[in-house]
Amino acid sequence: MYPADRRYTKDHEWIIVSANRGRVGITDYAQKQLGDVVFVESPEVGRVVALGQAAGTIESVKAVSEIYSPATGRVVEVNPALASKPETVNKDPHGDGWLFDIELSNSSEIDGLLTSDQYADLVK
C-alpha cells in the first residue's frame, strides 16, 4: 500500500531519495484524513528547510495542515501543477501529487525515518 522505495515520517510525509535529492509528498493516509485538498502552499525555491520543520501548508475543506520537511536541505523545485490543480494531492499522493524537491544537506537523516512497513503499522 505504501511504496517501499521511500521513507515516511510520523507526521505522514514521505521522501524518495535519488543521489543527493529528495522528493517530498504526503501519504495516502494523510490525504484521506484531510479530505478534498483545495490549496497547497509550497515552500519557496531556495529556502532551506530543516528536518521536522514546517515547510508549507495544505488546505482542505476540513482543515489547514502543516507540511513538515522529512529532511534538511534546500528547496530546489516545487510541483507547479498544484497551483492550479491542488486536488492532484488527493488523486495521486505518491505520484503526481508530490509537493517539493530538496537538495539534501545530510542524507543520513533518511535512515531515521520509517520504512513502508513501519509506516503501515503506524496508521493501521
Q: Provide mean pLDDT across the span 34-62.
A: 96
**Strand, helix or coil at 81?**
helix
Q: 64-112, pLDDT tens digit by residue? A: 999 999 999 999 999 999 999 999 999 999 999 999 999 999 999 999 9
pLDDT of residue 78: 98
- Domains delineated in the chain: 7-123 (2.40.50.100)
List Cα–Cα distances, 2 to 7, 36, 95, in angstroms: 9, 20, 11
Helix (H) or strand (E) holding 65: strand 64-68
State whether residue 18 is helix, strand or coil.
strand
pLDDT of residue 1: 76
* Residues facing residue 23 across a β-bridge: 16, 101
Which residues make beta-bridge pairs with 100?
24, 78
pLDDT at position 37 over 90: yes
Interval 45-64 mean pLDDT: 96
Does residue 56 contact residue 24 with C-beta atoms inside 8 Å?
Answer: no
**How high is the pLDDT of residue 19?**
92
Residue 46, phi-psi category: left (phi > 0), alpha (psi -120 to 50), beta (remainder): left
CA separation for the pair 84, 91 (Å, rounded) = 14
Q: Residue 54 — pLDDT band, cuts 50, 70, 90?
A: very high
Per-residue pLDDT, 43? 97
